[in-house]
């Protein structure tokens, strides 16, 4: 061994000693190890999560929770005694009731009720666990988005995808463990939905774009070969390791892992995104042949392909369900875009034997009011305001009890009457399906232990298989 080789060996040994001593397993994981950081506390039922996030808050009254009594009150205000305890974002407590014109039917052996706008869900009714009694404190989008994703209304905390990745690690060597796919006309909170917060940045979500390279700069510039790219990465990694050995900066380790992942993604991503090899029947089921459903259906299909390749957490977002006006037009449009592909995804996972190990979650950040939002003083274009007091979400797959409806709201969908489920309760239940005691999956930051469920949360036993 010559002097240069000896010096390099010393630097490598010094780096590994400092890395393991300073940050232990997180350092080794970030460098590419696939073993879990924490590991489950008990045998998990689910290995992966697909979160179908309907950003903007779908109307539970018009989709999942039929309220015929609204017809009797339609066009009139409710007594103050029925509204004085509720918080509204835009309307007043004396706003007029907006009846629901949808027709509902029962599906499957479970008798789950869906409106005529989400009929495709009828095919998967017996696989679903519907929770009609969700509630949250937040009545505006961004804080509600934050508590749903991070367990708390203040920014700066890790999102659920980051917590899951931190706890279980990734099974994929060639793709990020947390991937985000988006469609729709807006995205209100953007990166707040997939940030890693105070966790190392290697746990943050990676948004894939719909046009061009799925991730910016994924393709090599013209004239740069794979060998040259590899040499650039090796040099950059060596410089980063030197920087880390001198500073102990934890983010340097994450940066090394990010560069390595980027190089592997250059090789694997083109095959992942190429859907032409799927059968004609599969493409039709996901809506890839229909302009209305193509973009969202493609994302649902990609979510299945990502789970097959070991991606731990996939968030499929469709925006926006914020129907303050044009409820009858825009809500139907969103349902037409999403319901068929979602049903196809659940069926596809089931047929491939993946549903038992994949937890599916569908929902928005809160619900919509039974009172109308008459911004144009025209009933034909009326909408509904934000309603955090009771709304509907559903889950299916790994660890979730199928074919049940949990919770009950009053005759006007103003408040919860049975089995209230707070957002933190839902988070605790998701982590339970993944093998975690939510009170023990923690990360020390600012001299205290943080967790996804903040200081609350109880597992919803009725949701568990």
pLDDT of the residue at 263: 64
This prediction's pTM: 0.85
- The domain spans of the chain are 39-216+280-463
pLDDT of the residue at 237: 74
Residue 237 CA, chain-centre distance (Å), reads 32
pLDDT tens-digit series, residues 46-87: 999 999 999 999 999 999 999 999 999 999 999 998 988 888
First to last CA, the chain: 60
pLDDT of the residue at 26: 36
Nearest 10 degrees: Cα torsion 121, 341, 424, 131: 0
Under-50 pLDDT residues of the chain: 1-36
Give the tokens for residue 313.
């957490």
pLDDT of the residue at 380: 86
Q: How many CA atoms lie within 13 A of 204 on its CB side?
A: 22
How far from 453 is each of 36, 353, 397, CA to CA, in Å? Answer: 21, 30, 22
pLDDT of the residue at 442: 96
The dotted CATH code for 39-216+280-463 is 3.40.720
What letter does residue 223 receive in the DSSP assignment? T
The closest alpha carbon to 361, from 320, 328, 321, 316, belongs to 316
pLDDT of the residue at 407: 98
Q: What b/e readout covers 323-344, taking b as 16+ CB neighbours within 10 angstroms?
A: bbbebbebbbebbbbbbbbbbb
């Amino acid at each position: 061994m010559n002097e240069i080789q000896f010096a390099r060996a010393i630097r490598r040994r010094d780096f590994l000693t400092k890395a393991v001593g300073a940050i232990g397993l997180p350092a080794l994981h970030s460098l590419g190890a696939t073993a879990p950081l924490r590991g489950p506390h008990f045998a998990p039922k689910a290995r992966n999560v697909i979160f179908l996030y309907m950003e903007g808050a779908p109307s539970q009254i018009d989709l999942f929770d039929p309220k015929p009594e609204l017809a009797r009150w339609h066009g009139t205000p409710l007594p103050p005694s029925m509204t004085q305890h509720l918080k509204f974002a835009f309307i007043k407590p004396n706003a007029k009731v907006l009846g629901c014109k949808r027709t509902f039917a029962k599906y499957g052996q479970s008798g789950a009720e869906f409106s005529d706008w989400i009929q495709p869900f009828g095919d998967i009714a017996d696989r679903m666990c519907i929770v009609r009694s969700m509630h949250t404190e937040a009545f505006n989008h961004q804080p509600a988005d934050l508590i749903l994703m991070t367990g708390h209304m203040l920014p700066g905390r890790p999102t659920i995808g980051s917590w899951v990745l931190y706890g279980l690690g990734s099974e994929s060597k060639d793709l990020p463990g947390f991937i985000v796919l988006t469609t729709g006309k807006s995205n209100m909170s953007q990166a707040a939905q997939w940030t890693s917060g105070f966790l190392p940045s290697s746990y943050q979500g990676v948004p894939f774009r719909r046009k061009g390279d799925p991730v910016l700069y994924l393709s090599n510039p013209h004239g740069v070969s794979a060998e040259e790219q590899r040499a650039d990465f090796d040099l950059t990694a060596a410089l980063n390791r030197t920087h880390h050995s001198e500073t102990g900066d934890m983010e340097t380790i994450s940066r090394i892992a990010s560069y390595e992942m980027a190089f592997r993604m250059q090789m694997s991503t083109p095959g992942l995104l190429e859907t032409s090899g799927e059968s004609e029947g599969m493409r039709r089921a996901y809506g890839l042949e229909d302009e209305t459903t193509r973009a969202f259906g493609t994302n649902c299909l990609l979510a299945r392909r990502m789970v097959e390749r070991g991606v731990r957490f996939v968030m499929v977002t469709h925006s926006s369900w914020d129907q303050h006006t044009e409820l009858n037009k825009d809500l139907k449009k969103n349902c037409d875009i999403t319901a068929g592909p979602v049903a196809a995804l659940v069926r596809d996972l089931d047929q491939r034997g993946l549903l038992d190990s994949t937890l599916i979650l569908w929902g928005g950040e809160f619900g919509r009011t039974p009172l109308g939002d008459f911004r144009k003083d025209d009933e034909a274009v009326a909408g509904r305001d934000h309603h955090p007091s009771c709304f509907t979400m559903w889950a299916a797959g790994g660890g979730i009890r199928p074919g049940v409806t949990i919770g009950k709201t009053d005759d006007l969908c103003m408040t919860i009457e049975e089995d209230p489920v707070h957002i933190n309760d839902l988070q605790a239940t998701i982590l339970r399906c993944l093998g975690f005691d939510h009170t023990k999956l923690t990360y020390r930051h600012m001299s205290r232990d943080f967790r996804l469920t903040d200081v609350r949360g109880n597992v919803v036993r009725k949701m568990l298989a």
